[in-house]
Amino acid sequence: MVDNLYALIMAGGGGTRLWPMSRQAHPKQMLKLVGDRSMFQLAVDRLVPLLPHARILVVTAGEQVEGLAAQVPELPRENFIVEPLGRGTASCIGLAALHLHRRDPGAVMAVLTADHYIRRTDRFREVLRAAHQVAEEGYLVTLGIEPTHPATGYGYIRRGAGLGQAGDFDYYAVEAFVEKPDAERALAFLAAETYAWNSGMFIWRTQVILDAIAGLMPDLDATLTALGAALDAGEYASALAERWPALKKETIDYGIMERAERVAVIPVDLGWSDVGAWDAVMALRDADDAGNALSGDVIALDTENSMIMAEGQRLVTAIGVRDLVVVDTPDALLISRRNQTQRVRDVVQRLREAGRDILL
C-alpha cells in the first residue's frame, strides 16, 4: 500500500545550540541525547517498521557521510545524497527529488529531519500513511504539530477549510505560514486551535514537488534540469561542483510552500520536540525521584531538578545543586541555569569572535 513511499532524512547542518557536545565535526544528529541511540539512529528506527532501509534516503554534507553511514550500516551507501554545501532546504529537497524521481517516477517522498525528537513513533507512522494518501491526491502535505504550549520559538501554520479525512486524520487547506510570534500572539494562536507548529516535515509526490519548483523557482529548476542531463552524460560530479555554489539560499517554506497551490496540513500530536536547547534535552530524559537526569560518572549529593551529562571521561560531582544543566566534554564544560540554556549561542558567538575554532 505504501510501496512507493520513500523517506528523505535531512541530516546535514551543523548546529551549535547543543554546544559543547555538538560541534562542526560532531553535529546534533550524531549525538546520543536520549538513551543510547543517536538522533539520526532514532530517525531511522522510527521509520523501519513502515519502510525498508532501501527506501530511506539521506541528504547530508560530504564530511558527515562516513559518520552517519557508520551509525546505521543497514542503509545502502547509494542512498546517501551529498550536498556540496548548504543552499537552504529548497535546494536540498530539490536535489533529493531529482535523484528519487529518476529512480521511481511514481515515488511519494516524505521529507523528515534527523535533529528533532518524536516520542509517539506509532502515531508518526500512522500520520505518514495518511499523508501518503493525501500526497497521492496531488497535495503538497505538511505535518502541523498540535501546540501544547504558547511557544515563541517555532513558526506556525494557520489552517483553512477542511479538505477531507485520511485514516483517522483530518487534513486542511493551509491558509498561511506565520513567522515565530511574540508571547501574546503565541497565546492567541494556542487559544484559536487553528494553528499548528511548522515541523518542517513534508510529504509529496516527487512529480508534484518538481513541478512546483519548475513553476516557482526557475533558477533551482534550471540547475536540477542541468544536473539531470549531467547524470545521463556521466558528468554529475563536476556539474554539481560547478552549479551548486551558484544557487541562492532558500528555504522550502518561502520558496514553495507559502506560494504553491494545493498545500495541505495534517495536524497531529507526535510528542514532538525540536530539541532546540539543553533544557529541551532535559525534558526528554527520564528523571529520577529528585528530578535529576544523570549520565556518565556522576556523584550528586542533595541535588535536584538538574541534568548532568558526564561525557568528558572524568568524574563530575555535584553538591547542593538546583536547576542546573551540566554538560562536560573533554575540552569544554557548560554549567547553565536550566532556563537559560538558549544562551549557549552567546558562548558560541564569543568563541567564534575569539577565533577559538577548535572548540566549535
Which residues would be at the binding site for a second copy (CB under 8 A)? 20, 299, 301-302, 312, 314-322, 324, 326, 328, 330-337, 339-341, 343-344, 346-347, 350-351, 356, 359
User: Between residues 8 and 332, which has the closer beta carbon with respect to a second copy?
Assistant: 332
DSSP SS3 for 321: coil
User: Between residues 22 and 71, which has the closer beta carbon with respect to a second copy?
Assistant: 22
Please answer whether residues 308 and 318 qualify as being in contact, where contact means their C-beta atoms are separated by less than 8 angstroms.
yes
Task: State the DSSP H helix or E strand holding residue 306, giving kind and residue range, or none if neither.
Answer: none
Please answer whether residues 316 and 296 qualify as being in contact, where contact means their C-beta atoms are separated by less than 8 angstroms.
yes
In the complex, least distance from residue 284 CB atom to a second copy, rounded to whole angstroms: 20
In the complex, least distance from residue 324 CB atom to a second copy, rounded to whole angstroms: 7
User: Between residues 228 and 296, which has the closer beta carbon with respect to a second copy?
Assistant: 296
Please answer whether residues 252 and 101 qualify as being in contact, where contact means their C-beta atoms are separated by less than 8 angstroms.
no
User: Between residues 152 and 339, which has the closer beta carbon with respect to a second copy?
Assistant: 339
In the complex, least distance from residue 318 CB atom to a second copy, rounded to whole angstroms: 5
Q: Is the peptide bond before 20 cis (omega within 30 degrees of 0)?
A: yes
In the complex, least distance from residue 326 CB atom to a second copy, rounded to whole angstroms: 6
In the complex, least distance from residue 315 CB atom to a second copy, rounded to whole angstroms: 4
User: Between residues 51 and 351, which has the closer beta carbon with respect to a second copy?
Assistant: 351
User: Between residues 237 and 335, which has the closer beta carbon with respect to a second copy?
Assistant: 335
Cα–Cα distance measured from residue 344 to residue 19, given in angstroms and rounded to the nearest whole number: 7
In the complex, least distance from residue 310 CB atom to a second copy, rounded to whole angstroms: 8
In the complex, least distance from residue 308 CB atom to a second copy, rounded to whole angstroms: 8
DSSP SS3 for 202: strand
Cα–Cα distance measured from residue 59 to residue 11, given in angstroms and rounded to the nearest whole number: 6
Q: What DSSP string describes 227-267?
A: HHHHHHHT-HHHHHHHHGGGSPP--HIIIIITT-SSEEEEE
Please answer whether residues 327 and 20 qualify as being in contact, where contact means their C-beta atoms are separated by less than 8 angstroms.
yes
Name the β-bridge partners of 178.
Answer: 156
User: Between residues 220 and 351, which has the closer beta carbon with respect to a second copy?
Assistant: 351
